[in-house]
A and B are shown apart, each in its own frame.
Chain A
Amino acid sequence: MRKLMIVDDSNIIRNRIQRAYDSDTFMLVATASTGKDAIERFKIHRPDVITMDLTMPQMDGLECIEKIVAIDEDVRILVVSALSDKATGIQALSLGANGFLCKPFSEDDLIEALNELISD
């Protein structure tokens, strides 16, 4: 069972991911709508897997990824963002994210991406 945290400022996307993830493999331990909250909750719940939005109020996804990876470099991060700027997505990878899922996504896309994320 992997601990999952969902970070997205959109309530709709958070709910979408909550509904879609595979509950046999993952256990939702926290959700956050700002980068700042995400770091606080990461420290408390220590999730193994994070879905991360890039554009958020109070610290964006890039900064958030950098800080979280500095705390625990084994955490797996899936960036879930719209594909307006590929360069930003790639920057997220260079800061420690492990993969990228483009919004909008289907439930199958998400399940597949999360499973790929935790594969060795």
Chain B
Amino acid sequence: MNLSNVNISGRYRGLVISITLFLALISALLVYTFYTSSLLEENTAAIDTSNQIANNAQAVIKDIFDLQNSYGEDINSPHIQTVLQRLEENSEEIDTLLVALKTGSAYVDTKGETVQLPSITDPTTLQALNNTEKEWSMLRPRVKDYLEIADDVRQDTSVRLALVGEQAKTSSLAMNSSLEELTANIFTVAANQARNIRLIQILGVASIFAYFLIFIFFFVRRLRESDAETLEARRETQEIMQTVSTGLFLLDKNLQIGQQHSQALESIIGSDRLAGENLTHVLRGRISDKDLDTTRQFIEQLYNPRVKEKLVNDLNPLHKVMLHTESESGQENRYLDFKFSRVYENKNIARILVNVTDVSDAVRLEQKLEQERAQNDMQIEMLTTILNVNPVVIQDFIKNTKQHIEKINNVLKNPGSSQFELENKLKLIFREMHSLKGESSALKLHSFTKIANAAEDKLQALQNQAKLSGNDFLPLAVDLEELLNLSNTIERLGERINQAAPQVFTSLQENEPTKRSEPTKISEPTKLSKTVAPTKEAVTTANIQQQENAAAETSVITTPVNEPKVIITEHTQDTIETENDGLINIIDSNSLLASNSSKEHDLVEYYQDFAQQIAQRQNKKIQLEISDLDLLNVSSNAVSTAKEVIIQLLRNAIVHGIEVPEVRQAVGKDETGKICLNVNRTDKCLFVIIEDDGAGIDYEKIRQKLIDAGKYDAETAYKLNQKQLLGVLFSSGFTTKSQADEDGGRGVGLDIVKDRIQESKGQLNIKSQLGEMTKFVITLPIES
């Protein structure tokens, strides 16, 4: 830009100088012509003057002779008077003219006009003038002498008249010849001058003409050269613009795209009308309105001289921006990267150069890498889980997962036709999915939980749908497949470990206590501090047995019960490490088997972990106290039911029962909520007792929810007793939580509890005091 500026001003300077010189030449010629023509005029005047003197001299001599001839005539006669007067006037004029001619000055002629005479320098002319003057100077005094007395009648004028006559005779001829010579000389000078003028004028015009031609020649040549340069530059620019693979264009302050842009820009942006268009019009509807707005503000700031160009790259809203494009093959999304650079002109920001590249491939690659990374993370996560969690638990989990998936699959295989069937089907799938989610979340298998959660979202949407059809369930197949793949992966990983330690895994698969060999302690015993109060344990069992009798049906017990407790403190980081060590030792030492106590410990830890995780997500503080966990050595469906019920009730207690610390403090409770889990058994029954010191069941809230949901009108709702309200609490799809998340709020948990207990022909007792506590007592018969 700057370079061409210099060229342009240089070219104009040459042009200006040439024209000035041309004008100066013409002016000089004009001035010279004017000057010489004035000289010519003066010379003409000199010739006229010389002639005038000659005429006057003739008149003077003629008058003198007239006076001589008229001598004796009355002096006062008009004739004499006229002649005398004329003689005097002519003589004086000759004086004046001679002086003017000699000095080259101006005089006023008889007509009153000023006549300018040239100074005579030519020696011959000067000589002729001097001769004339000499002759006149001899005649003039005698004329004067005569005229002094010519008017006086008393004087004798004859002598003086004779003298003047005498002189006039001699001077007449001399003056005539010298004046002729003078005139001829001046004429010659004038003729010379005229010739010179003509010559110089011809030369001047010729040189001006020549100069003009040269000027035109050089100027045109220069113009052609610069045109060629411009053309070449434009051609180069065009070549660059056609060849470059990125989108290049200039942007002015009003976001107007410049007239030239690279050809690639059209395909990158996906529009062939770009030159002169406004960038916001080009991008409108293809990036978000917010991005468009931000882009406008960003470019405005690029024109702000305060802003440092290099320090605003992070704010560029068009960095890797997604562009929606309508193409023949339908909608297509591409990622573009716009880079902006300022173009300066005389230190002012004149334009913005924009460089656009299609970075779709790079972005997609990034996304793919990210996906693969997530996949790897997931596998590591699973591996970590497998290595950290008791293999029996994982084995259970895989078994359960496959069962859940199979159940869902079966449901999907038998498409119901009626709306009622479809709704039931939906509820069933929901329950299975929820159980699956609960179990995976307990094992920290987040990738599992995520898929299950997504599936639940879909189910939730279906639940809110007015009319269901069999096809609505199709998308779930994808989720199921993913879940199945994941569980297969876990299984495979487990098998690999099994290959490394075959005996261990075999033993882990043997869940039957009767087949169990003599338990051997794993190398590192548990570090958990476990305070057992054996004397009170019997009391607990007795209490529960008493309750068993009372709990013939689901009822509400309102009397407070004080339970003896076995407290297990929260596990700490180092216990996890210990567990790792333990597991590695299992694999290393092929002969070792898990003992009952370590298995119970694993289960305790599993519940602790699960509970603390949920608490953390819910921003709550809890302490889970597990007294007995007598779930081992029982060959019964009751155990798997109990495990599932515990998971759901623990979750329920933390999500719905325990309040957030602030609320607990406000009502005067310890900010850490307490949950007690106790599993005992007799020969015939298994008892699961879960108690929390949370908010209790708020029957009014259930009532209000029912009214809000439009299931009952206010009148009917208020007529429902506590038992009926509890029935609602345990029905499918009911929740008091307003927002569903990973931990709850879909109204499925208690529904599962009820179903599982019913399936096992068990019983459920609930005791709750609003603001104080909730206690669930589940009795499950053990089949022999």
Chain A residues with a Cβ under 8 A of chain B: 78, 83, 86-87, 89-91, 93-94, 96-102, 113, 116-117, 119
Contacts and interface: CB of A to CB of B under 8 A. Distances in A.
Contacts of A113: 311
B308 A94 contact: no
Given A87-B290, A93-B304, A96-B306, A117 B311 contact: yes
A98 B304 CA distance: 9
A87 B307 contact: no
B744 interface: no
A90 B317 CA distance: 10
Contact of A90 (B310, B311, B315): B315
Interface of B: 290, 293-294, 297-298, 300-301, 304, 306-308, 310-312, 314-317
8 contacts: A78-B311, A87-B297, A89-B314, A90-B294, A94-B300, A98-B306, A99-B308, A116-B311
Contacts of B304: 93-94
A116 B307 contact: no
Interface-centre pick from A91, A97, A119 (highest chain B CB count, 10 A): A97
B308 A98 contact: yes
Contacts of B311: 78, 98-101, 113, 116-117
Interface-centre pick from B290, B293, B308 (highest chain A CB count, 10 A): B308
Contacts of B294: 86-87, 90
Nearest to B316: A86
A89 to B, nearest CB: 5
B301 A94 contact: yes
Contacts of B297: 87, 90-91, 94
B687 to A, nearest CB: 52
B315 to A, nearest CB: 5
A83 B314 contact: yes
A80 to B, nearest CB: 11
A102 B304 CA distance: 20
Contacts of B314: 83, 89, 100-102
Contacts of A101: 311, 314
A14 to B, nearest CB: 20
Nearest to A94: B301
Contacts of A83: 314-315
Contact of B293 (A87, A89, A93, A116): A87
Contacts of B315: 83, 86, 89-90, 93, 100
Interface-centre pick from B315, B316, B317 (highest chain A CB count, 10 A): B315
Nearest to A87: B294
Contacts of A119: 308
A86 B296 CA distance: 12
A97 B314 CA distance: 14
Nearest to A112: B310
A105 B666 CA distance: 42
Nearest to A89: B315
A36 B294 CA distance: 28
A89 B306 CA distance: 15
A116 B312 CA distance: 11
A21 to B, nearest CB: 15
Given A78-B311, A86-B316, A100-B314, 5 more contacts: A89-B315, A94-B301, A94-B304, A97-B307, A116-B310
Nearest to B317: A86
Contacts of B306: 93, 96, 98
A94 B300 CA distance: 9
Contacts of B301: 90, 93-94
B319 to A, nearest CB: 9
A119 B311 CA distance: 12
Interface-centre pick from A89, A90, A116 (highest chain B CB count, 10 A): A90
A29 to B, nearest CB: 22
Contacts of B307: 93, 97-99
Contacts of A102: 314
Contacts of B312: 93, 99-100
A102 B290 CA distance: 20
A97 B306 CA distance: 8
A93 B316 CA distance: 13
B320 to A, nearest CB: 13
A98 B297 CA distance: 15
Contacts of A87: 290, 293-294, 297
Contacts of A116: 308, 310-311
Nearest to B294: A87
A90 B314 CA distance: 10
A87 B314 CA distance: 11
Interface-centre pick from A83, A100, A116, A119 (highest chain B CB count, 10 A): A100
Contacts of B290: 87
Nearest to B297: A90
A113 to B, nearest CB: 6
B308 A117 contact: yes
Contacts of A91: 297
A78 B312 CA distance: 10
**Can you list the 5 inter-chain pairs with the closest CB atoms, starting with the nearest?**
A99-B311, A102-B314, A93-B301, A99-B308, A89-B315
Contacts of A117: 308, 311
Nearest to A93: B301
Contacts of A97: 307
Nearest to A96: B306
A119 B310 CA distance: 11
A50 to B, nearest CB: 14
B318 to A, nearest CB: 10
A34 to B, nearest CB: 24
Interface-centre pick from B294, B301, B311, B316 (highest chain A CB count, 10 A): B311
Nearest to A73: B306
